[in-house]
Amino acid sequence: MTLTRSEFHQQHLEQAQSKAAELFARRTDLKGAWLGWVAGQLYSLSPAEYASMVRRELQRLQEGTPASP
């Protein structure tokens, strides 16, 4: 069975938020090298839809906006 985009999002949102928080937490340690490092981490994630979710969550964390329910 193939998931719809909405179903995929619902099933993986919590995991994507957790992964984004994990990656974001390394920002202080890696300082200027963080951007290149995190790009490599995002590139290694699959499927692409999941990687996009993590990227959006990272952007949300950088902007300081609250998580969506």
Q: Does residue 3 belong to any structural domain of this protein?
A: no
The DSSP string of 29-64 is HHGGGHHHHHHHHHHH-SSHHHHHHHHHHHHHHHHT
Model pTM?
Answer: 0.88
Q: List the domain range (segments joined by +) for residue 45.
A: 14-61
Predicted local confidence at residue 65, as pLDDT: 82
Q: Is residue 25 part of a domain?
A: yes
Per-residue pLDDT 10s for the chain (69 aa) are 688 999 999 999 999 999 999 999 999 999 999 999 999 999 999 999 999 999 999 999 999 888 766
In a domain, 5, yes or no: no
Number of structural domains the chain divides into: 1
Three-state secondary-structure class, residue 21: helix
Whole-number pLDDT of residue 67 = 76
User: Is 8 within a domain?
Assistant: no
Q: 6 in a domain, yes or no?
A: no
Distance CA 40, CA 11 (A): 24
